[in-house]
Amino acid sequence: MTVRVGPWSVRLAPRALIACLGLVAALCVVSVAALSTGEFTVPVPDIVRAVFGQGTPVAELIVSRLRAPRVVTGLLVGAAFGVSGAIFQSLTRNPLGSPDFIGFTAGASTGGIVAVVAGGTATQIAGGALAGCMVTALLVYALAFRRGVQGYRLVLVGIGVNALLVAVNSYLLTRANINDAATAGAWLTGSLSGRGWDHAVPVALALAVLLPMCAAVARPMRMIEMGDDAARSMGIRVEAVRAVAITAGVLLAGVATAAAGPVVFVALAAPQLARRLTRSPGVTLGASALMGAVLLTAADLAAQRLLAPTQLPVGVLTAAIGGTYLALLLRKERR
């Protein structure tokens, strides 16, 4: 189905459009549930009034200052992880091509641990995570580059670097004092607890800049999935497109990790679920972003409510769900 708006035309797949609308509806339901439930229940009409600054002081305190920043951060971080995972799975043509497996998340963890051990503030820890992610990406790209970067080689090099960085992280934790080790361990789990607007705003700005960049290379990336030679024959500048896509994917993963810690398996599962839901070939950026936001927000809601009043870090629940999904994925690939 093609929609024309003036001189422009947009091609829409009906199933993908319906799937995205369904994800938006699920996102609204999960967000409202996260805002309204808890130790103090806030009715939906009071939530709407509080959002527009017309609620009671108590409702505005609970919704606007306590719950909304956490929910918005979860939505943005989940979207960033989802898009990052979609990019790398497309580039590697491998369902395991995720920042969790090719070392970028581990590199961000290393940067965050170094900042914690050095006595850094929350801002410095976030900056260390972003820097670690970018340095790791440069290292993986350099080691995997041989007359271009092939997806299979990128995954293998990334897995090796990831294993090395996991060992480095363990060493840093064993050498840190007990307080720093506890702080770093809590951060490594991945959590949205205590997140405020100062965490959500940087992720929102990053998405505003990087999503158009990703959209610009989405079509060429679809051509590259057919092979570098086929893409070059159609006039695609393969290495330039791949470099832009990797840069955007790394920055999205780094910013998301800086905001919420290394929340695992969202970047792996969201693009796969989105592609199965939409049945669309190529890069499903919009659906992956929505699926990532739904997964992370729903997991955080479940982590808060399942064992109330005890709250689990969201990374614990995503690891449990993601590990099960990974086992099913590997079983399917084996068959």
Burial of 173 (0-12, 13-18, 19+ CB in 10 A): middle
CA–CA separation, 190 and 171 (whole Å):
19
CA 163 to chain centre: 20
Position 261 pLDDT exceeds 70? yes
Instruction: Compute the distance between CA of residue 104 and CA of residue 100 in angstroms, rounded to an integer.
Output: 7
Write the pLDDT tens digit of every residue in 79-97.
999 999 999 988 888 877 8
Query: What would the two tokens of residue 190 be?
Result: 């991945």
Predicted structure pTM score: 0.89
Using pLDDT thresholds of 50, 70 and 90, give the confidence band for residue 264.
Answer: confident
Residue 70 has pLDDT above 80, yes or no: yes
pLDDT at residue 335, rounded to an integer: 55
Q: What is the CATH number of domain 76-334?
A: 1.10.3470.10
Cα angle vertex 190, ends 209, 65, to 5°? 70
Domain boundaries, the chain: 76-334
Residue with tokens 């990797």: 246
Task: For residue 78, give the 3-state DSSP assignment.
Answer: helix
pLDDT tens string 143-157: 887 766 666 788 888
